[in-house]
């Protein structure tokens, strides 16, 4: 079972935690991670892009010139695709990009993502993430103390401290998320995965 140090807000080691081998020590399945991330990104697409075909562009009802005898190529409408201001041939139309994946694949993707963070040494467990005031400077100091100077994801318990959320909101490359709203894409996207000790227990309870 993976064992990690538990840090306080000052970046000092204040204990140790043994993580579930089933959730944080599993083999990383890259195929499942790719499947999940692809589905997640496709599902973000609105699919509202649209172009006008030749029948939808206004005008062009009259044949521009007679079929034969002019020396020019035959034309049926000034709204054909080869004309300036004509319609678009084979352009995009509104469609759904929706992709569904089953619960087992979602669960396996989450376990693989969490295990990959432990494997890469990018998971940081903090005893209690809380602030006594709204202060971005204190959050920056906390992130620096735990070695998360780049992109970081802070995972909070369900009853998250509002001061932490607001204080981290202005820091570029940093997001906060409650433990019940995690997704694989964000876990993989950020360099450091900082999680409160209480949130670890919740993850192990849900995915055990």
Condensed to tens digits (0 to 9), the pLDDT of residues 62-74 reads 999 999 999 999 9
190/160 same-domain check: yes
Residue 139 lies in a domain: yes
| Domain count of the fold of the chain | 2
Which residue carries 């140790």 as its tokens? 16
pTM above 0.85, yes or no: no
106/177 same-domain check: yes
126/161 same-domain check: yes
Q: To 5 degrees, how large is the angle CA 105–CA 107–CA 112?
A: 90
Output the pLDDT for position 208: 76
Number of H helices, E strands in the chain: 7, 6
181/90 same-domain check: no
112/144 same-domain check: yes
Output the pLDDT for position 106: 94
Q: What percent of the chain has pLDDT over 90?
A: 68
108/88 same-domain check: no
Output the pLDDT for position 15: 87
124/186 same-domain check: yes
Output the pLDDT for position 67: 96
Residue 162 lies in a domain: yes
Residue 191 lies in a domain: yes
- Report the Cα 199 to chain-centroid distance in Å: 20
Residue 37 lies in a domain: no
27/51 same-domain check: no
Condensed to tens digits (0 to 9), the pLDDT of residues 93-133 reads 999 999 999 999 999 999 999 999 999 999 999 998 888 88
172/132 same-domain check: yes
Domain with 143 in it: 3-31+102-207
Residue 110 lies in a domain: yes
Output the pLDDT for position 79: 96
Q: For position 14, which CATH number holds?
A: 3.40.1370.10
15/63 same-domain check: no
What is the C-alpha separation between 139 and 149, in angstroms, rounded?
A: 11
* Cβ contacts of 19 within 8 Å, gap of 6 or more: 1, 2, 3, 4, 25, 118, 200, 204
Residue 40 lies in a domain: no
What is the C-alpha separation between 155 and 176, in angstroms, rounded?
A: 6
27/69 same-domain check: no
Q: Where are the beta strands (DSSP E) in 12-86?
A: 13-18
Task: Name which of 179, 192, 148, 156 is nearest 23 in CA terms.
Answer: 179
Residue 41 lies in a domain: no
What is the C-alpha separation between 156 and 175, in angstroms, rounded?
A: 11
Per-residue confidence at 207, pLDDT binned at 50, 70, 90?
confident
18/108 same-domain check: yes
Residue 70 lies in a domain: yes
Condensed to tens digits (0 to 9), the pLDDT of residues 146-194 reads 888 889 999 998 877 889 999 999 899 999 999 988 999 999 999 999 9
Spell out a b/e string for 169-188, using b for 16 or more CB atoms within 10 Å of the CB, else e.
eeeeebbbbebeebbbbbbb
């Amino acid at each position: 079972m993976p064992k990690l140090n538990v840090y306080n807000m000052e970046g000092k080691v204040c204990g140790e935690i043994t993580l579930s081998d089933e959730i944080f020590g599993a083999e990383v399945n890259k195929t499942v991670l790719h499947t999940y991330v692809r589905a997640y990104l496709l599902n973000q697409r609105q699919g509202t892009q649209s172009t006008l075909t030749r029948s939808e562009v206004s005008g062009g009802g009259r044949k521009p010139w007679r079929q034969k005898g002019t020396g020019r190529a035959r034309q049926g409408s000034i709204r054909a695709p080869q004309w300036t201001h004509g319609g678009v041939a084979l352009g995009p139309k509104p469609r759904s990009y929706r992709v569904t994946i089953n619960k087992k694949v979602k669960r396996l993707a989450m376990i693989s993502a969490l295990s990959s963070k432990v494997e890469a040494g990018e998971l940081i467990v903090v005893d209690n993430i809380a602030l006594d005031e709204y202060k971005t400077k204190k959050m920056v100091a906390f992130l620096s103390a735990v070695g998360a100077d780049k992109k970081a994801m802070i995972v909070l318990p369900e009853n998250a401290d509002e001061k932490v959320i607001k204080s981290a909101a202005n820091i570029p490359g940093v997001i906060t998320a409650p433990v019940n709203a995690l997704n694989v894409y964000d876990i993989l996207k950020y360099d450091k995965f900082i999680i409160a000790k209480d949130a670890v227990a919740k993850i192990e309870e849900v995915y055990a």
